[in-house]
Amino acid sequence: MRLGVLAGEASGDILGASVAGELRRRHAHLELQGIGGSKLAEQGLASIHPMDRLSVFGIVDPLKRLPELLKVRRQAFQQQAQWRPDCFLGIDSPDFNLTLEAQLRARGLTTAHLVSPSVWAWRPGRVRKIAAAVDLMLCLLPFETRFYEGAGVPAVCVGHPLIEELADLPSEAVLREKFELSGDTKVIAVLPGSRAGEVASLMAIYSETMARLAAQHRNLHFLIPAANADRRRQIEAVLAPLELPATIISGQGREAMLASDAVLLASGTATLEAMLLRKPMVIAYRMPWLSWQILSRMAITRFVGLPNVLAGREVVPELLQDAASPEQLVRQVEYVLERGAEQQVPVFDELAAQIGGGFAARAANALDNLVSLKRV
């Protein structure tokens, strides 16, 4: 089997290597060509370009690097068009991959894309480009396939790799001991995000919420993962005057959540992680007024937290913009500490079962079936 592959970021490299490893177990003579990182290299890929040169952020960086990015895409197209794999798999990086996939499909190649763009949340018009680009969309979440079915795009849910990744974490008891948390202490994991602006905005209200909770509850401790050294200094500066029962740790966001009784966090993948770890949570988020006005008008989903998006209803409290006040957060966190385990966790279990595990095997099955279908 010949598989063309392009991963533009480290997360895509990991996903691609997992799928390639499963395909290699089925196809002893699997050949790989394309672009990837160290994980795909371990599966036999000789990348034609350094993957990290494709990792761009924001609006300005891609514009500055546009000539280089266009050159790399031309090289990738030429390689795949000449080699003619059984299937070309673009992994995430939709702005780069979807155009390449459309070009290759126009040349008669079979194409698939792994990790759906968030067309169900905003810019739904992108689905027309996706329909022209792929023979199959491999989705990580089940509701995504329903969106594509309505748009006439073949799609299959292959489960989420987080399910296997989180299963490898140490036990809650081991982590509480590691973080020096006594058994009778109520622990709240506080995750204020990873970007500087995000942390500045959220820690202002999170810290006031923590101070009020600590004043009302004696046996409480806060565990705060900092994404990097800069964010740690930022968080320390906010908390320094408050003398709170809090521990700041470097990274280890998943470990912090698993060691906790409840989680206070921003939106994003962390909400899915907390759900899969069966931790009651409160979502609170603020962004600059103008950004909110623009994004709220572009959004087509009612919710920002993935547990709520999956359930189609508010299972987890979402306090956004002005609603994310310390008064409201204290009330919601107290309620979740008391009732979250009985009200949220059973729903989390149902949603996790709907997603399902076995990501690599399910993705490999989907690609095998696609290639077999195209050969008929």
Q: What is the pLDDT of residue 300?
A: 53
| Nearest Cα residue to 109 out of 129, 91, 138, 136 | 136
Q: Sign of dihedral through CA atoms 286, 329, 122, 54?
A: positive
Q: What is the pLDDT of residues 264-287, one digit of tens each?
A: 998 788 999 999 999 999 999 876
Q: What is the pLDDT of residue 292?
A: 47
pTM of the model: 0.83
Q: Which of 87-101, 116-130, 201-215, 234-248 has the lowest mean pLDDT?
A: 116-130
Fold of 166-355: Rossmann fold (3.40.50)
Phi and psi for 243 in degrees, rounded to 5? 50, 55
Residues 73, 232: Cα–Cα separation, whole Å? 37
Domain residue spans of the chain: 2-159+358-375, 166-355
Residues 69, 54: Cα–Cα separation, whole Å? 7
Q: What is the pLDDT of residues 97-107, one digit of tens each?
A: 999 999 999 99
Q: What is the pLDDT of residues 15-63, one digit of tens each?
A: 999 999 999 999 989 999 999 999 999 999 999 998 877 765 444 455 6
Q: How far is CA 10 from CA 36, 46, 51, 53, 116, in A?
A: 8, 16, 8, 11, 17
The answer to whether 58 touches 32, Cβ cutoff 8 Å, is no
Q: How far apart are the first and last CA of the chain?
A: 16
Rounded to the nearest integer, the mean pLDDT of the chain is 89
Q: Is the pLDDT of residue 179 over 50?
A: yes
pLDDT confidence bin for 367, thresholds 50/70/90: very high
Q: Do domains 2-159+358-375 and 166-355 have the same CATH topology?
A: yes
Residues 89, 7: Cα–Cα separation, whole Å? 9
Strands 136-139 and 111-114: parallel
Q: How large is the average pLDDT for residues 67-86?
A: 93
Under CATH, to which class is 2-159+358-375 assigned?
alpha beta
pLDDT confidence bin for 354, thresholds 50/70/90: very high
